[in-house]
RNA sequence: GCCAUCUUAGCUCAGGGGUAGAGCACUUCCAUGGUAAGGAAGGGGUCUCGGGUUCAAAUCCCGAAGAUGGCUCCA
């Protein structure tokens, strides 16, 4: 972390204390949980018993916080012996702090997750237990805290309270539910303003809103939550993306296969998924009966295609792809537009490879991923999800170590911007998770490449080696777009609905000036010509003003609009209206109709037109 | 699944214990139009669903479903 980041961190953390100070002044009976720094800001968990705070109280809290800031209270660190600290917590009636301290005393740590860890008192000696912990005080307010803080309450930059959420004490639903107050904070008012503007922009681009406005998908109560239906426009997006992905895969030697969407549950018992994630299988809403279920993933099915006949080392790699829909019983609270659904379609593939072919296959896949996201104008970075020392993983640790080495080498060779994330691996093997950064700077995981030694083992997959001995292949799972639904949610927000020409559901809209026979005929001639060139074109000959029809085309963010009337019929020349983000030599040049259509075709075919946002 | 908030026409939303509202969209008519909304008329709602209170419930109360924001989870 740079010095600047350290300072921002201290500011945010100090603001959490200042908020707690303000809340303690306004509600002296408050029981405080923890108050860590999070991305872009901070929060504090509070428990007010029967009272609940609402966002209407933010004004009061913020103005109290401003008072604390103006008082320029110094942050003073002190140490207390652990028992003394526990007494303090008792006297201050802070049961949550007391619990943390007791855990510290007993275990030297608390069992809670990462966020809590930064909140714990400093361990000054010994491994197994703690002798003393650190406190920070500002004015009358003292809190168990490891720090660091800024020197005084007036050095905290700009902040704003954002929202209230329910949160369980230490993240467990067995515990008391507290209220979590979130704030954002930045070093300068300007950065805060930029952040708030970004949130405004994100709201405007919300894919659920754009999905409705641009008529891309719908969710019907009768069909059910998490089961989106795609309209013709949305389906064009889906199909074009899938087509591109499959072209990349075909070039990499992948052949299409097909599997039904239902299976005997037994398949997942053999694969090991059922025992590993029982809670994901025991819910009837995606199950058809005790013995059959909707498929929640694809790999075990494809493994059966491999297993259907004897394989030779000469056959490998065998590369199968299938863009297919799977069904997962996501909990209702987890569903969100297209980004979290119950029916998700993956551009899935599985390669069965010899161990000496793993690196090449990984390299080839990384190439596809790079090509895809270059065209989609989404910069990418990579998380190498490796195992940790826990026993959550199947298989031989030695094989894992070897595979992880190969993966890291490939990441280096391909010059990927990568981070290693221990403990993030799937239970059957290490993964490469590809993270894209959208136009608003938000990060999303999309593509994933996963190495799997376990399913070949579970399904007893074999090939006959050069020496005549049966050998076990490895499986390489991959999805370039990941879930198409989820990718669309990211991409709709990335582009704000201004899709590049090759993807645009409607590439050209022809607007007629009037309803005269001659005009209508000319419009339909141009439409036919464009359609024959493979373009997606519609004619708006509604009995409306030209201005109105232009406006409608704009609202649908159609890349090219041409108005046809008497002038165009006579001259054969059009003055296209081109969506502003599209780079062209001149926005206002007149074109011969046929020439113009051919230019669009070229742009479409190259798939390289970037939407500059 | 848990907590909070919300659910009124296809969409965006106002209203609120006593005959259900607007804009857009839709239909029809007039206007035949020139690069972001031409004019008029009309149709459209068991006010999410189920119970309760009341002379009377869309409105108040309870419950359910769905949505939204979080929490938790994400093979």
d(CA A223, CA A228): 8
Out of A97, A180, A301, A328, the active site residue is: A328
For the beta carbon of residue A124, count every other beta carbon within 10 angstroms.
12
Separation CA A489–CA A493 (nearest Å): 6
| Protein-to-nucleotide distance from the CA of A442 to the C1' of B9, whole angstroms | 37
**What whole-number distance in Å separates Cα of residue A514 and Cα of residue A452?**
63
Active-site annotation holds for A477: yes
Residue A169 has pLDDT above 80, yes or no: no
| Interatomic CA–C1' length for residue A489 and nucleotide B58, angstroms | 35
Asked about A346 being catalytic, the answer comes back as yes
User: What mean pLDDT comes out for the span A593-607?
Assistant: 86
**Spatial distance between the Cα atoms of A343 and A324, rounded to a whole number of angstroms:** 10
* Catalytic residue selected from A12, A13, A342, A350: A350
- Position with higher pLDDT, A412 vs A59: A412
**Which residues are registered as beta bridge partners of A179?**
A46, A166
pLDDT for the residue numbered A463:
97
Nearest residue to nucleotide B36, by CA–C1' distance, is A551
State the nucleotide closest to A274 in CA–C1' terms. Answer: B75
What pLDDT is recorded for position A114?
34
CA of A234 to C1' of B42 (A): 33
**A195 is known as an active-site residue:** no
Closest nucleotide to A271 by C1' from CA = B75
CB A98 within 8 A of CB A86: yes
pLDDT category of residue A130 using cuts at 50, 70 and 90: low
CA distance A36 to A43: 6
Tell me the per-residue pLDDT of A322-337, one tens digit each, with 9 for 90 and over.
999 998 877 777 788 8
Residue A496 CA and nucleotide B53 C1' are separated, in Å, by 49
Rounded distance in angstroms from the CA atom of residue A46 to the C1' atom of nucleotide B71: 14
State the nucleotide closest to A452 in CA–C1' terms. B75
What's the CA–C1' distance between A274 and B72, in Å? Answer: 21
The model scores a pTM over 0.95: no
Closest to A336 (Cα-Cα) out of A228, A214, A480, A438? A228
Catalytic residue among A143, A329, A347, A348: A348
Q: Which nucleotide is nearest to A286 (CA to C1')?
A: B75
Minimum CA–C1' distance nucleotide for A515 = B32
ipTM: 0.90
Strand B nucleotides within a 7 Å radius of protein CB atoms? 1-5, 11-12, 25, 29-38, 65-75
Residue from A477, A494, A549, A557 carrying the catalytic annotation: A477
Q: Among this protein's residues, is A299 annotated catalytic? A: yes
User: Any idea which nucleotide's C1' is nearest the CA of A54?
Assistant: B4
Model confidence at A104: pLDDT above 80: no
pLDDT tens digits, residue range A3-55? Answer: 777 788 888 888 989 998 988 888 888 888 888 888 788 888 888 766 667 66
| CA end-to-end span of chain A | 30
State mean pLDDT over A347-373: 93
Provide, rounded to the nearest whole percent, the portion of chain A with pLDDT above 70. Answer: 89
Determine the Cα–Cα distance for residues A234 and A239; give it in Å rounded to an integer.
Answer: 9
Higher pLDDT, A147 or A205: A205
Q: Give me the catalytic one of A208, A301, A431, A577.
A: A431
Q: Is A468 left (phi over 0), alpha (psi -120 to 50) or beta?
A: left
Instruction: Find the nucleotide nearest A337 (Cα to C1′).
Output: B67
Q: How confident is the model at residue A148 (pLDDT cuts 50, 70, 90)?
A: confident
Measure, in angstroms, how far nucleotide B8 C1' is from residue A335 CA. 25
C1’ B36 / CA A377, Å: 28
* pLDDT value of residue A370: 92
Q: Give me the catalytic one of A73, A94, A179, A346.
A: A346
pLDDT at A499: 95
pLDDT tens, residue by residue, A231-288: 999 999 999 999 999 999 999 999 999 999 988 888 888 887 777 665 555 433 344 4
Q: Where are the alpha helices (DSSP H) in A80-206?
A: 82-91, 95-107, 114-117, 189-205
Q: Is A445 one of the annotated active-site residues of the chain?
A: no
pLDDT reported for residue A279: 56
What pLDDT does residue A400 have? 84
- Closest residue to B1 (CA, C1′): A331
Nearest to A348 by CA among A229, A256, A280: A256
Q: Which residues contact A393 (CB under 8 A, 6 or more apart)?
A: A387, A400, A425, A427, A428
A292-CA/B62-C1' distance, Å = 39
Nearest nucleotide over every DNA/RNA strand to the A164 CA, judged by C1': B70
Distance B4 C1' – A350 CA (angstroms): 44
């Amino acid at each position: 972390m740079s010095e600047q980041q350290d300072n921002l961190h201290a500011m945010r953390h100090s603001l959490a204390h200042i908020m707690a100070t303000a809340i303690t002044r306004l509600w002296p009976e408050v029981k405080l949980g923890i108050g860590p720094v999070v991305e872009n800001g901070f929060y504090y968990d509070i428990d007010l018993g029967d009272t609940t705070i609402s966002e209407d109280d933010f004004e009061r809290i913020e103005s109290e916080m401003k008072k604390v800031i103006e008082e320029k209270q110094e942050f003073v660190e002190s140490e207390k012996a652990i028992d003394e600290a526990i007494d303090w917590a008792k006297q201050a009636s802070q049961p949550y702090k007391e619990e943390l301290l007791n855990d510290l005393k007993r275990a030297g740590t608390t069992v809670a997750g990462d966020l809590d860890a930064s909140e714990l008192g400093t361990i000054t000696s010994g491994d197994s237990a703690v002798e003393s912990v650190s406190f920070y005080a500002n004015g009358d307010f003292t809190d168990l805290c490891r720090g660091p803080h800024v020197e005084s309450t007036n050095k905290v930059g700009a902040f704003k309270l954002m929202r209230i959420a329910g949160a369980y004490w230490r993240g467990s639903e067995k515990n008391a539910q507290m209220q979590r107050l979130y704030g954002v904070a930045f070093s300068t008012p300007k950065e805060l303003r930029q952040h708030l503007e970004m949130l405004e922009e994100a709201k405007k681009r919300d894919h659920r809103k754009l999905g409705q406005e641009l008529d891309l998908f719908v969710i019907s109560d009768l069909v059910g939550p998490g089961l989106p239906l795609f309209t013709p426009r949305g389906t064009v997006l889906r199909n074009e993306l899938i087509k591109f992905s499959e072209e990349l895969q075909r070039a990499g030697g992948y052949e299409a296969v097909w599997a039904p969407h239902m299976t005997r549950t037994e398949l997942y018992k053999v694969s090991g998924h059922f025992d590993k994630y029982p809670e994901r299988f025991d819910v009837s809403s995606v199950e058809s009966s005790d013995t059959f279920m909707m498929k929640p993933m694809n790999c075990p099915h494809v493994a059966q295609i491999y297993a259907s006949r004897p394989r030779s080392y000469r056959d490998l790699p065998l590369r199968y792809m299938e863009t297919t829909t799977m069904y997962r019983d996501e909990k209702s609270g987890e569903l969100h537009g297209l980004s979290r659904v119950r029916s998700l379609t993956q551009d899935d593939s599985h390669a069965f490879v010899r161990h000496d072919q793993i690196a090449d296959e990984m390299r080839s896949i990384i190439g596809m991923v790079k090509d895809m996201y270059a065209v989609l104008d989404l910069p990418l970075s990579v998380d190498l999800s490796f195992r940790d020392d826990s026993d959550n993983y199947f298989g031989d640790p030695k094989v894992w170590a070897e595979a992880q080495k190969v993966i890291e080498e490939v990441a280096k060779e391909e010059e990927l911007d990568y981070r290693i994330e221990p403990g993030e691996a799937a239970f059957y093997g290490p993964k490469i998770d590809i993270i894209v950064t959208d136009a608003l700077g938000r990060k999303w995981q999309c593509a994933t490449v996963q190495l799997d030694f376990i399913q070949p083992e579970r399904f007893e997959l074999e090939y006959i080696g050069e020496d005549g001995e049966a050998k076990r292949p490895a499986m390489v799972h991959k999805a370039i777009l990941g879930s198409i639904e989820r990718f669309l949610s990211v991409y709709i927000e990335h582009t704000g609905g201004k899709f590049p020409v090759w993807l645009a559901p409607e590439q050209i809209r022809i607007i007629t000036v009037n309803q005269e026979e001659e005009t209508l005929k000319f419009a339909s001639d141009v439409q036919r010509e464009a359609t024959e060139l493979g373009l997606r074109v519609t004619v708006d000959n509604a009995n409306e003003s030209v201005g109105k029809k232009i406006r409608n085309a704009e609202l649908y963010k159609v890349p090219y609009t041409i108005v046809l009337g008497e002038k165009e019929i006579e001259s054969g020349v059009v003055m296209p209206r081109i969506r502003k983000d599209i780079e062209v030599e001149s926005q206002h040049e007149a074109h011969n109709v046929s020439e113009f259509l051919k230019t669009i075709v070229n742009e479409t075919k190259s798939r390289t037109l970037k939407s500059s946002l």
